[in-house]
Structure 1
């Protein structure tokens, strides 16, 4: 084969699918191994058979040569008696023929009587004079045979004749075929089994490689490494046993782990991240927007499950510092408040301008003056009451915006007399507290709008007296069904099942904040209709840091 043909064959082999190449390689290797094993066993059996036949032939020839009757018949050249003796000795024996000659190798007995008296063939020169035994293989008077020749000694140990005992090569070949044919059949069966196992192994490799070539897998791995490195969030992948399979630079940076990242691969997640419940507990379940603490860092974490054909391969956890989320949430909350306030003020401004324009054209100047003074006094009273009751300006601004929003929706937001909020719970910032109050009020507004029989009133009570900070929001809405109260604070659960874009995230976030600071939420029926949500958050977080996962209803 020329060099060009070898190169073209190599290119053709490389173009084949990787599992097919594995199958062909295993098939070729299996065939070569079986062929080599067959050659070895065949050669070993050939040697064994040759030695075995030689040993049998020589032993039988010596037994005949040492027979007293044969010795006496040869000494007296009694061919008739030799025929009788050999006939008896041949009974039950497996040799093909026996020829007996005198000391000059002249036949005294031969299976063919016509050949008696003629010299024996394949006689080794000088063997009879020395009394040697030997083997001869060749074409004789009977045919191609393997012969054992041994001398006949008299009582004086003088050579008086020779015995030639032969096995035909055709019989030896038949013995060889009797052994090799079944052996060849066994090898063929083994080769078929190896072909089947090779194909199954190649198919298994194809499934494990998802039908991709090694180059494609290498490219996917490099893309994954680049993707992990470019993602701003921290990413950690673990297998079902909690062993780390991938970790990106941002995750190591946020968790305070040393570089490079390969030293963390294969380590148990509990040795790297504490606590590790989010990585190992119920790993087959997806989690979203869970508030956790990793190595003392407060994070918002998500967990995605990795599966292949219903088999659990592990999970990938993404997380981001809660401080960044809180800053973003604060910005969004402020923007939302500004938008709502501007929208409300715009509507009110248009209404006021229309009213004032009409009154001025009718020259009702006194009414115009009274209207302006009354509205300014109402706004100032609301601002003064919020300033006296709530020290936190972000929470007070939120409540002012919600009052304006309620008026725009045709609702009434009333602060229950006695409201006082001078201190927030320990470690809770204004954004988190405002998120709890704002989501509760938004849900109350929605409930009132969905119940035409209610009086459109929402009541809010805030108090930091005692050991807990209390938030109570009562509405005259449609209420909360009993069937939803046990799962109301789980992500994805919502009472607004017919509303587009509602995913049950508001109450879930409320529950996450409250649960994180060791608080509880209760849901009760309000009178005469609607619901009463009560939140109790300890002013001082428990010293052991434990947080309950249950919410009473």
Structure 2
């Protein structure tokens, strides 16, 4: 992926600074214009107030009416100019002749500027014009006598240079505020960028996008179904495998954003969120689809922020297990038979060296008959090759353990209609035989008998031993997970037997007395391939 030109921190800093600078500059333009207009209005108001004050003075009215001395107007106007700090105060008669002026030499001369016509017509107004003292802002006010007759006018001027100086002073204040705002924005942008970088674990956006794509690709590539929920039990993630498995169970909607219990009642992810305890290798049935599920909480800084469930169709796992079990059992049978065969070869070799040829012939005949009877019996009665291989392996294992294992069956046991039954049968029979072998270890008579009976689609298997027996007090607990009288990390065999029986809808009977051996009888619904036809 192409690397970005700028880092996240640089990008955020530049972007925030640009936004702040642009905002402040636009604000500066707007405020500067407003301030300039405000200052001009203020100065115009100042000039207007001064002009009205002079126009309403009796001294000025009498001087312009001819009832007073015109020279007093010059003195009065200069005093007002000094007090109000304006550029000039000019009083003129109706012909525009000045009666006062900052320059005494211009008194008696006509007013200059051409903007006095409106005031001589009786209208008060403000204008900007150039006179003998340069450009100025002028406020004109007419002068009326007691009878309401206009006898002259007053013009008060303020130099535009002073107005501009006031505007520039205000503008520099705005510039200082703008610069301070930009610097503050830069500092804030740097702090914000560093904070965001820290939240993102120092990763750049491109790296985050790459990780997200890789994570999504990995999740969608795995064969196991994956569902993740947040701390509110809402589904945040589900991959294609999970959707495919759940569609088999009739759940066709996309669950993203939904409460997991509303989408799938049997999920039990909400319980994991509450307890914080992982649930591993649990079986779950969703509308007839059997799943093998692992549920684990998601912890961030020792706080539960969600939960994840991974699952797979148990049918596929069972098929793999059956294949592996068949291969393993076949290998165990070959190993045990090879071990027995080597021992028998040693016996034969010894008889040859001793030249006991008659006894050798009898020994070989016994071995041949015994092997033929065992193998022939199992292959005749057990039509399921996986189960047959398993039983042969158990025969050899029992002999190695010093026990005598005998199989009995009056009727032939056909292959099951459902191949998954074989896997459960191996679990049931295997654990019962293993328990029986352990039970006869300390007994004088080490005999184990396994009898099969098949009728009316019910398979009955009885496993009897001559072991020490099971006391009545613990018979009600031996099916519990982890219960054992033989030490730690034991007590799973009969638990698995009971679990497989529940799955097949079977039953288990136990008959035992201390010192008189034990009999386990299981009854399992069993449909053969022939029954299906």
Using the alignment, how far apart are the partners of 1:457 and 1:186 within structure 2? Answer: 101
Larger radius of gyration: 2
What does residue 144 of structure 2 align with? 153
What does residue 471 of structure 2 align with? none
Q: CA deviation at 1:430?
A: 2.5
Residues 1:288 and 1:398: Cα distance change in structure 2 (over 3 Å): same
Using the size of structure 1 for normalisation, the TM-score is 0.65
1:58 to 38, 44, 48: 48
2:122 to 111, 131, 140: 131
What does residue 321 of structure 2 align with? 329
Q: CA deviation at 1:326?
A: 1.5
- The DSSP-based 3-state class of the residue aligned with 1:16 is coil
What does residue 62 of structure 2 align with? 72
Residues 98 and 164, structure 1, Cα contact 8 Å, conserved in 2 = yes
Using the alignment, how far apart are the partners of 1:292 and 1:471 within structure 2? Answer: 30
Alignment of 1:497-536 (within 5 A): 513=500
What does residue 33 of structure 2 align with? 43
Q: CA deviation at 1:431?
A: 0.6
Using the alignment, how far apart are the partners of 1:309 and 1:101 within structure 2? Answer: 86
What does residue 551 of structure 1 align with? none
> Is structure 2 residue 311 aligned with structure 1 residue 319?
yes
Residues 1:190 and 1:537: Cα distance change in structure 2 (over 3 Å): farther
Q: CA deviation at 1:340?
A: 0.9
Using the alignment, how far apart are the partners of 1:53 and 1:462 within structure 2? Answer: 121
2:228 to 238, 246, 251: 238
Q: CA deviation at 1:268?
A: 2.6
Using the alignment, how far apart are the partners of 2:29 and 2:492 within structure 1? Answer: 75
What does residue 352 of structure 2 align with? 360
Residues 1:293 and 1:306: Cα distance change in structure 2 (over 3 Å): same
Residues 272 and 307, structure 2, Cα contact 8 Å, conserved in 1 = no
Q: CA deviation at 1:133?
A: 3.2
Using the alignment, how far apart are the partners of 2:326 and 2:285 within structure 1? Answer: 26
Q: CA deviation at 1:349?
A: 0.7
Residues 17 and 189, structure 2, Cα contact 8 Å, conserved in 1 = no
Q: CA deviation at 1:351?
A: 0.8
What does residue 282 of structure 1 align with? 272
User: Deviation per CA, 1:200-222, whole angstroms, max 9, x where unpaired?
Assistant: 267537845972544x6665565
Residues 1:340 and 1:329: Cα distance change in structure 2 (over 3 Å): same
Structure 2 regions of 5+ residues with no counterpart? 469-478, 527-533
Q: Name which structure has the greater RCO, CA cutoff 8 Å, separation 6+.
A: 2
Q: CA deviation at 1:152?
A: 2.0
Using the size of structure 2 for normalisation, the TM-score is 0.67
What does residue 344 of structure 1 align with? 336
Using the alignment, how far apart are the partners of 1:242 and 1:228 within structure 2? Answer: 18
Residues 236 and 244, structure 1, Cα contact 8 Å, conserved in 2 = no
Comparing 507-516 and 321-330, the one that deviates more: 507-516
Alignment of 1:116-515 (within 5 A): 122=113, 124-137=115-128, 146-154=137-145, 155-166=147-158, 169-170=161-162, 173-174=165-166, 177=169, 181=173, 184-185=176-177, 188-189=180-181, 192-193=184-185, 196-197=188-189, 200=192, 204=196, 207-208=199-200, 211-214=203-206, 223=214, 227=218, 230-231=221-222, 233-240=223-230, 241-243=233-235, 245-248=237-240, 251-252=243-244, 255-256=247-248, 264=254, 266=256, 268=258, 270=260, 274-282=264-272, 286-303=278-295, 317-365=309-357, 367-368=359-360, 371-372=363-364, 398-408=390-400, 410=401, 412=403, 429-438=421-430, 488=482, 495=488, 513=500
Using the alignment, how far apart are the partners of 1:430 and 1:293 within structure 2? Answer: 20
Residues 1:441 and 1:47: Cα distance change in structure 2 (over 3 Å): farther
The alignment covers a number of residue pairs equal to 496
